[in-house]
Copies of this chain bind each other. A is one copy, B any other.
Amino acid sequence: MWLHTSTRLDFNPEVATPFLFMLRPRSGSQQWIGREEYLIAPSVPVVEFTDAFGNLCQRLVAPAGPFSIHASADIECSMSVDAAPGVAFVEVQLLPDDVLPFLLPSRYCESDCFYEMAADLTAGYLPGWNQVRAIVDHIARTIRYTPGSGSILRSARDVNGCSDAVCRDMTHLAIALTRALSIPARMVVGYLESLAPMDLHAWFEAFVGGRWYTFDPTQLDLDGGRVAIAYGRDAADVAIFTQFGDPVPLTAMQVSVQRMNAPPTDPRR
């Protein structure tokens, strides 16, 4: 399936302000970037680098005045995500080295506070994929997905017990509980076709049965049509923009995802 994705961000800083963006999805084993554009107005020098998680990051200084970024792409991705009931827990000593950091507690996922709750929630479930699914189901059942609710400072500990939360919050809680079982979990920020209201989205992946599997506590009914923009331990690692210095308001933000009728074709053919 081919999707056309687009994010436009508008700012209006009073003084020149350094920014870090993560808005260029990468091709990988799950998705292929067939066409892409990344426009900046007014034009300023940009330096791109790859962070420790493999994400492409763009560094620039936005000048004073109206400033906008528009990143869009045509991307081939899967129609569905793999569900894998019964897939087994991987003993910690058998995990690949580079997966180990995703077992540790992080800014918004204090897994070291959730051992008991994770054990209780998953008692009786087969170790592995089924435990993660039990966590996701619990969160989906007990917290209402309410876009716009809450604060950007909420961590898993804060979210636990809330009645309303955003995708980021519910994902943080799910990650904290998953790691508390010694199952590696990482956050994904990206696009999801048919999300309503449309916005950038957050979900997570858990490492069971020797690979990463997708889980999404806020969208039990939506499945494929996912494009990952960035991976990390939690929202601190995968902010689509990080701004330094005095706060600069985001004056407008538009996100869209459209299914394409056909793959992008070569205009020369």
A residues apposed to B, CB below 8 Å: 8, 18, 20, 24, 26-29, 32-39, 41, 43, 45-52, 54, 56-61, 70, 74, 76, 91-93, 97, 100-101, 103-107, 110, 112-113, 152-153, 182, 236-237, 242, 244-245, 263-266, 268-269
Contact = CB atoms under 8 A, between A and B. Distances in A.
Given A104-B236, A106-B107, A153 B112 contact: yes
A47 B34 contact: no
Contacts of A100: 20, 51, 57
B33 A38 contact: yes
A55 to B, nearest CB: 11
B153 A39 contact: no
A168 B56 CA distance: 30
A35 B34 contact: no
Contacts of A236: 104-106
A169 to B, nearest CB: 15
Given A37-B35, A100-B20, A153-B113, A50 B50 contact: yes
A110 B107 contact: yes
A48 B70 contact: no
Contacts of A37: 34-36, 74, 264
A39 B107 contact: no
- Does more than half of chain A's interface fall in helix, strand or loop, or is it mixed? mixed
A244 B95 CA distance: 12
Contacts of A245: 92, 182
12 contacts: A8-B268, A28-B48, A32-B46, A35-B36, A41-B269, A52-B52, A57-B97, A103-B244, A104-B237, A104-B242, A110-B153, A182-B244
Contacts of A112: 107, 152-153
A152 B115 CA distance: 14
A38 B46 contact: no
Contact of A18 (B74, B91, B97, B244): B91
B52 A28 contact: no
Contacts of A38: 33-35
B34 A39 contact: yes
A33 B56 CA distance: 12
Contacts of A58: 27
Given A27-B58, A41-B266, A52 B101 contact: yes
